[in-house]
A = this chain, B = another copy of it.
């Protein structure tokens, strides 16, 4: 179907020689000078730069730089090699990412379609600069819709008895090339080993303003408590249920006259907007995780 072919106005196409550098290290004098001098000496031009120092916590330093470098593709290995010296001096955790490389997404979904539909719409509109490699679901409801975009759909049922086997099957279909997994209202608990394998690379949308209303039926809990504002939270998945690093949250005002169904209806729009923002920021390498919190440069 013609419309569902992604239009080619992605930023990755726009900037063939653009790279991103992410750095975390203990703060100290000379870091910015060393990094920017290194890039300058190598002929790179910094186009964006953000940094943050976490004072109270032993002075961790976080930095995200976007730069342009002629013939980036060919020079990337050399650049990474060269940066090892700088990185070693400051005990850096670091990455240099080629913006032209499109991240590969796997989307997990159950029956509720709104988050999946939003991601596909934003992707097809060119707002998510990534490849959606496949969709995995424990139901078949979304199959024809997903396939109409030319995206492979894998139906992997999950029951309490077959859970381990189902995860094994999921890992098989995902393969080795997936950068991030999106739980777009996927209503199954992921096992600790699966989470560990994709640490800080699984994004979940929780339908409450965490840490309020952890666990199941958050809209029913919200109605019961009589809150005047509801929200949604996108976070990285960790072993602790709904306890992982928060990436993004948003809220909307409600009133006594909104029943549970109306809260769900309002919530659907918050959920899809919040999840899509979190995915976009992850794709654009804007998120650094430190302990159980995120630094988001945007």
Cβ–Cβ < 8 Å partners of A268 in chain B = 125
Q: Which of A1-59 contact B (CB under 8 A)?
A: 1-4, 28-34, 36-37, 39-41, 43-53, 55-56
Bound together, the chains give a CA A51 to CA B48 distance in angstroms of 7
Chain B residues whose C-beta falls within 8 Å of the C-beta of A251 in the assembled complex: 229, 251
* CB-contact partner of A249 in B228, B260, B293, under 8 A: B228
Residues of A with Cβ closer than 8 Å to B? 1-4, 28-34, 36-37, 39-41, 43-53, 55-56, 113-114, 117, 121, 125, 127, 141-142, 144-145, 148, 209-213, 225-229, 231, 245-251, 255-257, 259-260, 265, 268-269, 273, 292-296
Whether B246 contacts A141 by the Cβ 8 Å rule is no
The 9 A-B pairs of least Cβ separation, nearest first, read: A226-B293, A33-B40, A33-B36, A212-B212, A32-B36, A228-B249, A3-B145, A256-B295, A33-B37
User: How many protomers of this protein does the assembly include?
Assistant: 4
Nearest chain B CB to A113 CB, angstrom units: 7
Residue of B nearest to A214 (CB): B212
Bound-complex Cα distance A37 to B34 (A): 8
Q: In the complex, what's the smallest C-beta–C-beta distance from A44 to chain B, in angstroms? A: 8
Interchain CB contact under 8 A, A256 and B39: no
CB within 8 Å for A246 and B259 given contacts A30-B40, A33-B33, A144-B1: no
Contacts of A1 in B (CB 8 A): 144-145, 148
Q: Which residue of B lies closest to A257 (CB)?
A: B52
8 chain-A/chain-B pairs, Cβ below 8 angstroms:
A34-B40, A50-B50, A56-B259, A125-B268, A209-B209, A210-B225, A211-B213, A229-B231
